[in-house]
Structure 1
Amino acid sequence: MLKALVFDFDGVIVDTEAEWYYIYKEWLKKTYNYDLKVNDYLVCVGANSQNLFRFIKKELGDHVPIEEFEKEATQEYIERTNRLPAMEGVKELIVRAKSKGLKLAIATSATQKKPVTQLKRLGLLDYFDAFSTAELSENIKPAPDIFLKAAELLDCKPEECLAIEDSLNGLIAAQRASMPCLIVPNMITKDSPFTGYYKMVNSLKDIDLSEIESYFLKKE
């Protein structure tokens, strides 16, 4: 039986992934005349920036002050993302899910401040019952910890929850947690080699909760 929806945040609730990519891409092009490809950026999507840092230093050398740049870029990121609307279909799905009595959680490799700030800005914060963030787990995605913690906070079994993800790292984390996963790819993640997911949709507006509930009932 479906009891909860567990949302990733970046790229699912708000299209923040594209903003980070363009900030890095513009800086690397301007400073080093280096063209950062989307496929290379994907190493950090759903996880954190450390994989990307290692890749950039391997390409350009250890002298690249990437960690310092990220600190400077954070303010630009905040300014860009504070203007962004919720992704298509997000608000409608959240309202429908709560009307059906489903619990809602955020499961993200980011720290809690980011989703809480953005959800409050969008008027969606009070719909969520739990936040499973980097502070609460020893390992981030693609490890299963963040999804397992989300299920624990919701007082649900992982198999009673539907993970909603946009990234390969997120899908792998959900699979390792035994949580069915719906994929809603975005411009950054659309060419990722997704396999083994429950379903893929182009937009959250395309989600049919009755169909999902039937799927979970058939699994029992």
Structure 2
Amino acid sequence: MKTILFDMDGVLVATERMHYEALNRVLDRAVGRTMDWGYYTQFIGSTTTFFWSTLDRDFGLNGQTDALHQAYTQQKIEFLKERGHTPVDGSPELVRALARRGYRMAVASSSPMYEITEVVTALGLDGCFEFLISGETVEHPKPAPDIFLQAAAHMGVQPEDCIVIEDSSNGVRAAKAAGMTCIALRNPDSGNQDLTPADIIIDALGDALHQIAGLTYLATDRLCLRPFTLDDAPALYELCSDPEVSRLTDWKPHESVQESEDVLRTVFMGTDTWAIVRGFDRRLIGAIGLMADPKRDNPHARMLGYWLATPYWGLGYATEAAKVVCAEAFEEMGVQLISAYYYADNTRSQRVLEKLGMRYEGRLRAASRTWDGRIFDEVCLSKSRTEYLQDCADAQGRTNE
């Protein structure tokens, strides 16, 4: 459940413009022709075999592809000697951050293996990846899913437990065809790629470092907490169309699967919000998240929010999920204080928060309005990191007695 598959060109290293320049230099010398950038972008994310067979057809290379490939490779080597490998902004930091958080990682690139090895070494990321996989070792190139399915098989994981980071239309389509979650980087150097099938689209790895590193899978004895994807829309609609679920919230019951999909895009995805799923059957049963507390001007404070579908009330799931999220926040995310608010007559939430060891702060009278206009008093509890660590030490002491 903690497996990340990286594309290389355009995700780890900025190579596409250099490849394009090298190719045009070789073509100009050999046949007196060059290609425009729009034509070149069809090859981004595909293999060398597809690349040269298409050029042979369109440029009338008349069997010169082997010689031109050698010349192209030599030209790239010369450029790299002059310019070195330039990482995509934020890529080394992202890989190292994920490695620190215990993610298993592999590179699954359409490039030849010697190029993959060279790039990973040049970026100082050798020890971060378990496998380096070239598209030249599979039968069908991207957008076929072969390379990602092979990567999952090598790592002994299921496709649905993998997250792919891609920058090309071919790569995104391959990831989704493999049944994997896909994060697409909108990289200007990769041309106008169609990334719409991706689950999440980001504009910069550096800016989104916390967002991506925050896609941590958390597990308890009975639950798995994972990022939401658009594939969750039908199940989310089934849960959130129940009026009882939204009775004590500020959102109205969902009226269509499309509305649930919109909520996924605008509220749940790309934030520190986890889908709560049962471990034994992976059934979606609710959501839990951390967000900025609008009542505190403190960048190190977070507000805890959660909900469960009605069939799963009273089974201890909310407490179980909240405990592991609070541990993640205090131990890994640098959070110094977690607050939580509940409507004054919501005794279920009150019991959950008390089981977390949260301290009573106060009651705000007539402070909150539900989606249908009802007004409630709001009760606030909170817990600091210092209190969390003390509670952990006390619990450990009791265990050792």
Shorter-chain TM-score: which interval? Answer: 0.7 to 0.9
Q: Is 1:189 matched with 2:190?
A: yes
CA drift of 1:136 comes to 4.2
Q: Is 1:25 matched with 2:24?
A: yes
- How do 1:83-98 and structure 2 match up within 5 A? 83-98=84-99
CA drift of 1:77 comes to 0.8
Q: Structure 2: how far apart are the matches of 1:18 and 1:118?
A: 16
Q: Structure 1: how far apart are the matches of 2:59 and 2:149?
A: 37
Q: Is 1:218 matched with 2:275?
A: yes
For residue 209 of structure 1, what is the aligned residue in structure 2? 212
CA drift of 1:62 comes to 4.3
For residue 169 of structure 2, what is the aligned residue in structure 1? 168
- How do 1:54-73 and structure 2 match up within 5 A? 54-63=53-62, 65-73=64-72
For residue 74 of structure 1, what is the aligned residue in structure 2? 73
Q: Alpha-carbon deviations, 1:176-196, whole Å to 9, x = none?
A: 101111111333423122221
Q: Structure 2: how far apart are the matches of 1:130 and 1:59?
A: 35
For residue 143 of structure 2, what is the aligned residue in structure 1? 142
Q: Which amino acid aligns with 2:227?
A: Y
SS at match of 2:197: coil
CA drift of 1:67 comes to 3.1
Q: Alpha-carbon deviations, 1:88-146, whole Å to 9, x = none?
A: 10111111111211111101122322211221122111111122223543322221111
Which range moves more in the overlay, 55-64 or 84-93? 55-64
Q: Structure 2: how far apart are the matches of 1:131 and 1:40?
A: 28
CA drift of 1:65 comes to 2.5
Q: Alpha-carbon deviations, 1:148-206, whole Å to 9, x = none?
A: 11112222221111101111111111011011111113334231222210112222112
More helix by share: 1
CA contact (8 A) 1:163 1:182 kept: yes
Q: Which amino acid aligns with 1:76?
A: Q
The verdict on how the C-alpha distance between 1:136 and 1:31 changes in structure 2, with shifts beyond 3 A counting, is closer
Q: Structure 2: how far apart are the matches of 1:163 and 1:150?
A: 11
The verdict on how the C-alpha distance between 1:162 and 1:81 changes in structure 2, with shifts beyond 3 A counting, is farther
Q: Structure 1: how far apart are the matches of 2:50 and 2:136?
A: 19
SS at match of 1:218: strand
CA contact (8 A) 1:106 1:131 kept: yes
CA drift of 1:210 comes to 5.4
The verdict on how the C-alpha distance between 1:219 and 1:196 changes in structure 2, with shifts beyond 3 A counting, is farther
For residue 43 of structure 1, what is the aligned residue in structure 2? 42
CA contact (8 A) 1:104 1:129 kept: yes
CA contact (8 A) 1:166 1:186 kept: yes
More strand by share: 2
Structure 2: unaligned runs, 5 residues or longer: 217-225, 229-273, 278-401
Which range moves more in the overlay, 26-35 or 2-11? 26-35
Higher Cα radius of gyration? 2
Q: Is 1:156 matched with 2:157?
A: yes
When normalised by structure 2's length, the TM-score is: 0.50
Q: Structure 1: how far apart are the matches of 2:198 and 2:33?
A: 34
The verdict on how the C-alpha distance between 1:160 and 1:7 changes in structure 2, with shifts beyond 3 A counting, is same
For residue 7 of structure 1, what is the aligned residue in structure 2? 6
In the comparison of the two structures, how many residue pairs are matched? 219
Q: Give % identity.
A: 27
The verdict on how the C-alpha distance between 1:97 and 1:74 changes in structure 2, with shifts beyond 3 A counting, is same
Q: Structure 1: how far apart are the matches of 2:2 and 2:191?
A: 28
CA drift of 1:27 comes to 3.1
Which range moves more in the overlay, 69-78 or 126-135? 126-135
SS at match of 1:152: helix
When normalised by structure 1's length, the TM-score is: 0.87
CA contact (8 A) 2:48 2:111 kept: no
